[in-house]
A and B are shown apart, each in its own frame.
Chain A
Amino acid sequence: EIVLTQSPGTLSLSPGESATLSCRASQSLSSNYLAWYQQRPGQAPRLLIYGASTRAPGIPDRFSGSGSGADFTLTITRLEPEDFALYYCQQYSSSPRYTFGQGTKLEIK
């Protein structure tokens, strides 16, 4: 089973700054299988990025994903107040079908 480890656990930044969130897999995986989700307080997760770098429909271009192998990154530029939330990476595999990282909390400094 591939384990995803996200860092940092909490990231404190100010609006207008840029955020870099990391997701490291315990073994190499296809970038096709890596997705990122945002979860605001009290809300369901929302798909941001799939295939490691493809933005989901309606997602602003301030959000970008990159990486390959075992290291993946979600970058958010020009942080807006609504971007402060929890972020999860997720990977697909044959078993279990999906696993999530433990999450990174992006909080206002």
Chain B
Amino acid sequence: DTGVSQDPRHKITKRGQNVTFRCDPISEHNRLYWYRQTLGQGPEFLTYFQNEAQLEKSRLLSDRFSAERPKGSFSTLEIQRTEQGDSAMYLCASSLALPTEAFFGQGTRLTVV
């Protein structure tokens, strides 16, 4: 296991379409996070899971966004009815119980046209 893996790396979609991203965390990590990053900004927290439980969601996570982590392993982030404002880099991170370091994946860059 070499780190956090995200798929796809790039996604171009038309406005109004649904998209789903996948994150595979480091295997022994029980915490998984989703962040969003727009150009010139630092990553912004979206949501986090401890095992399979989703314990916190940001106000940034509108009703069109949903995240799951079945069985406490990989996680998916779905965006329904995409809008141009959803264009961003979506980052996944995993960790053991904090305050240890959280390791980030390479991200999925979403472009909504």
User: A and B bound?
Assistant: no
